[in-house]
């Protein structure tokens, strides 16, 4: 076992031994920057500190009642840690959403843990809206009308 500090963080890294033609050890290599490790590290950073750590407004029907996301939209934002996303079951009324008890602030990473199928959509820039169709796939749809 070998311990050392790297900018890659904690983890298990592949170790290789290189032998010469006679079978003698000539080199031990530790691969720190292979494609899999780089991808894993970037994903960790994205979830822990990047855009997927930012907050979304999530309907209580989705967050607490466990209904699937049926409608989602993203508005431009300049607030730190605000993703601009609003994630709904799709059948909430305006009155329902006006009640603060019916809206939960959640990090996008927590939403992805419950609904992994939306992860690829979360990188789409605002303004954008998606609606889930009968087959389960999301399609682009019109943004909601601004409310007074």
At residue 86, the pLDDT reads 97
Q: Name the more confident of 45 and 91.
A: 91
User: Do 30 and 103 lie in a common domain?
Assistant: no
Reported as a single tens digit per residue, the pLDDT across 92-142 is 999 999 999 999 999 999 999 999 999 999 999 999 999 999 888 999 999
Residue 134, token pair as written in the block:
């009968």
Cα-Cα-Cα-Cα torsion 90, 96, 101, 104, nearest 10 degrees, comes to 20
* Number of folded domains that form the chain: 2
- Are 69 and 87 in contact by the 8 Å Cβ rule? The answer is yes
User: Do 65 and 135 lie in a common domain?
Assistant: yes
In percent, the amount of the chain with pLDDT more than 90 equals 67
- Per-residue pLDDT, averaged over 45-56, amounts to 87
User: Do 63 and 133 lie in a common domain?
Assistant: yes
User: Do 34 and 60 lie in a common domain?
Assistant: no
At residue 50, the pLDDT reads 86
In percent, the amount of the chain with pLDDT more than 70 equals 92
Residue 126, token pair as written in the block:
């605002």
In a domain, 87, yes or no: yes
Q: Which domain holds residue 70?
A: 54-140
In a domain, 105, yes or no: yes
User: Do 69 and 102 lie in a common domain?
Assistant: yes
At residue 44, the pLDDT reads 80
User: Do 61 and 126 lie in a common domain?
Assistant: yes
- Side-chain half-sphere CA neighbours of 87 within 13 A: 30
- Per-residue pLDDT, averaged over 77-84, amounts to 94
């Amino acid at each position: 076992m070998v311990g050392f500090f790297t900018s890659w963080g904690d983890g298990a890294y592949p170790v290789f031994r290189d032998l010469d033609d006679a079978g003698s050890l000539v080199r031990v290599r530790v691969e720190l920057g292979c494609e899999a490790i780089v991808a894993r590290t970037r994903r960790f950073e994205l979830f822990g500190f990047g855009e997927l750590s930012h907050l979304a407004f999530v309907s209580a029907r989705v967050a607490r009642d466990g209904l699937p996301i049926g409608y989602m939209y993203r508005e431009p934002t300049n607030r730190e840690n605000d993703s601009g996303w609003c994630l709904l079951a799709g059948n909430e009324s305006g009155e329902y959403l006006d009640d603060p008890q019916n809206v939960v602030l959640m990090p996008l990473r927590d939403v992805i843990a419950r609904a992994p199928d939306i992860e690829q959509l979360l990188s789409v820039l605002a303004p954008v809206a998606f609606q889930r169709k009968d087959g389960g796939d999301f399609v682009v749809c019109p943004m909601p009308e601004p409310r007074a």
